[in-house]
Amino acid sequence: MYTIVTGAAGFIGSNIVKALNDRGVTRIIAVDHLTRGDKFRNLVDCEIVDYLDREDFLDRLDAGAFDGDVEAIVHQGACSDTTERDGRFMMDNNYRYSLAILDWCLDQEVPLLYASSAATYGGGRVFREERAHEAPLNVYGYSKFLFDQVVRQKLAVAGSFNSQVVGFRYFNVYGPRESHKGRMASVAFHHFNQYSNEGKVRLFAACDGFADGEQRRDFVFVEDVARVNLFFLDHPEKSGIFNVGTGRAQSFNELAVASVNACRALAGDEALPLAQLVQQGIIEYTPFPADLRGKYQSFTEADLTRLRKAGYEAPFLSLEEAVPDYVRWLSTHA
């Protein structure tokens, strides 16, 4: 039996493949779309049995090549560019493709774990997995929202699924194996590179009622994300749509301080508080971009009530705990 991971050469997908390997799972079929060939590096230290292009995979799925031979599908493949304006591409790539996998999994009674997104919530202040709080600000968020809606609708009609279906609304994920994402990589990644190259990091100035650098996000380390996925693989009786974040919003200032001081520690320099970092020009603020107004989440914080009720009890790492490890990893994988 195979475990299939789509988006396997991507950021979260490759971390899940590695986490599966660490527990002895190697019969993994990796599915991705290597138009950016450098993503292969994310799989170099991973064990898989085969690689398939995303289109080839769907063709084989439809042809019955995997009938009766799949343990689970962990569907992480998607275009995650929140600035992408080609709605036809986004809906075909994220929504229609996911529908085809969902229909196959329901027909074959194969567990499906898939990536949703906190982008489904838009600019609201309540981040609970309920329709009343969902209002995406961009077509990426809409593509994820619409697929979640289909899952809900199918569940409402059927009453229950014969196999597991789990959607994960990822908040702001950061960590190893994201460098291929370029400008869409995490803020933590960009802080490391800005400080390494220029000796300073840049944050947005005041906006949406938040002071300079005080916009707040729920930053979640990718190792925690992988652990949540493995928990649900271990509990195929549990289905639903769940937030995956720390449950605690932290400011961009806090992230910048953690990133800079982790870099300084590598150089043998002492840690500095925010006020000194700003005073010395190590942290600076730039005007908020006009083209992001009305499209930017200045605050996110996962409501973990449903995740905890489902039995996931492990704590999530804070920025202060995880960023130093990530910076050390980046310093050896430049």
In whole angstroms, give the CA distance from residue 210 to residue 205.
9
Of 97, 140, 170, 326, the active-site residue reads 140
In whole angstroms, give the CA distance from residue 97 to residue 2.
20
Please choose, from the candidates 180, 185, 217, the residue with its C-alpha nearest in 3D space to the C-alpha of residue 296.
217
Four-residue CA torsion sign, 26, 27, 33, 35: positive
How many angstroms from the chain centroid is the CA of residue 297? 15
DSSP for 118-169, written as a single string: GGGGTT-S---SSGGG---SSHHHHHHHHHHHHHHHHHHHHSS-SS-EEEEE
- Annotation says 181 is catalytic: yes
3-class secondary structure, 52: strand
Please choose, from the candidates 156, 120, 316, 138, the residue with its C-alpha nearest in 3D space to the C-alpha of residue 240.
156
DSSP for 61-111, written as a single string: HHTTTTTT-EEEEEE------TT---HHHHIIIIIIHHHHHHHHHHHHT--
Kind and range of the H or E element at 326?
helix 319-332
123 torsion bin: left (phi>0), alpha (psi -120 to 50), beta (else): alpha
Please choose, from the candidates 30, 143, 47, the residue with its C-alpha nearest in 3D space to the C-alpha of residue 90.
143
What does DSSP assign to residue 42? G
Of 2, 51, 154, 181, the active-site residue reads 181
User: What six digits make up the tokens of 97?
Assistant: 């493709």
SS3 labels along 201-248: EEEECCECCECCCCCEECEEEHHHHHHHHHHHHCCCCCCEEEEECCCC
Q: Who contacts 152 (Cβ-Cβ below 8 Å, separation ≥6)?
A: 241
Residues belonging to the active site: 140, 181
